Structure 1
Amino acid sequence: MKTAAQLLNEFLSLTRNPKEVAALFTEDGVVELPYLADLGMQWQYKGRTEIASLYALLLQLVPEWEFRDAVVLIDTPERAFAEYKVDALAVATQRPFKQHFFGYIHVENGKIKLLREALNIVATARAFFPNGLADIPQPEAA
C-alpha cells in the first residue's frame, strides 16, 4: 500500500489528467483550498467527480499547469506535508500564475482522504481577476 508521501508525489505528477487525479482519492475524498473563500471562489471539492472537475478547470485556466520543485517536509504512512510550485500563464488575463503551495495530505486505505492546500491569494487574484486585486470581494460583515 502506498504511503502518504508516495500518493502526494503521484498526485503532483498527474494533475494534467483530472480523471487519474480523482482516482487517487477515496470516493468521499476532499480537496480544500480554504483561502480561496476570501476571493469569493469555491474552496472545497468533495468526491471524485468534483475533484476531477477542479483539475479540468485548472487546466482551462492555466493550460501549462504543472507542479514542480516538490519538497516533502513531513512524511508518515498516513500523513504528509509538502511544498510545491506552479509557474505558468493564466489564459484569460495573460498574466503569470506563480504559486508556492503548501499541501497536507491524509491517506486512508491507500487512497487520499483529504488534500488541504494553502496558496498565495494575492498572486491568484493578480493572475485570474481582470482588475487584479481590485476585484477581490469585500469581506462580509461579522
Structure 2
Amino acid sequence: MKNATQLLQDYLANIQDPAAAASLFADDGILELPTIDARAQGPEAIEKFIAGLLVRVPEFRFKNIDISINTEEQAFGEYQVEAAVPSTGKTYKQTYAGRLVAKDGKIQLLREALDTLAASQAFSKD
C-alpha cells in the first residue's frame, strides 16, 4: 500500500496521463485549487479536470519537486511547471505548493496553492 509521499510522487509523475493520475484518488477523493476556485471530486471528475488542463497546456509537467513533509498519511511539497500556453504564446511558469492526505493507499485530498498573478499573465492575451 502506498503512503502519502509515494502517492504525491506518482501523481506528479503521471500528470501527462489523466487516467493514471486520477486512478490514484479514492472514489470520493478531492483535487482542490482554492486560490483559483477549482475543485474536482472522484476519479472521473479529476481525470476530466486534468485532461482539460492538458488541452490548454499540452506540455504541462512538474519539475523541481521538493517534498518537505513526509508521513504515512500526509505529504507536503513544492513543485514547478514551465510550459508554453499555445493560445497566448506565453510561458506558464508556476510554483505549486501541495498538501496531500492519504488513506488506505489512495489520495483523499490534494490541495494545491499557486501564484494567481503568474497564471493570469500566462493565460491572458493582454
Superposition TM-score tier, normalisation by shorter sequence: over 0.9
Say how many residue pairs are matched. Answer: 126
The code of the aligned residue for 1:24 comes to L
Q: Give the share of equivalent positions with the same residue, in percent.
A: 40
Give 5+ residue unaligned stretches, structure 2. Answer: none
Alignment match of 1:128 (pick from 80, 105, 123): 123
Structure 2 equivalent of residue 74 of structure 1: 69
| Counterparts of 1:123 and 1:109, CA distance in 2 | 35
Shift of 1:129: 2.2
Instruction: Give the letter aligned to residue 71 of structure 1.
Output: D
Relative to total residues, which structure has the larger strand share, 1 or 2? Answer: 2
Q: Tell me, in whole angstroms, the C-alpha distance in 2 between the residues paired with 1:52 and 1:94.
A: 26
1:40-94: per-residue Cα shift (whole Å, max 9, x none)? xxx1111111100111011111111100110100000000000000000111111
Aligned to 2:113: 118
1:109 corresponds to: 104
TM-score (norm 1): 0.87
Match for residue 27 of structure 1?
A: 27
Residue 62 of structure 1 aligns with an amino acid whose one-letter code is V
**4+ residue runs over 6 A deviation:** none
After superposition, the CA RMSD in angstroms is 0.7
- Which runs of 5 or more residues in structure 1 are unaligned? 38-42, 132-142
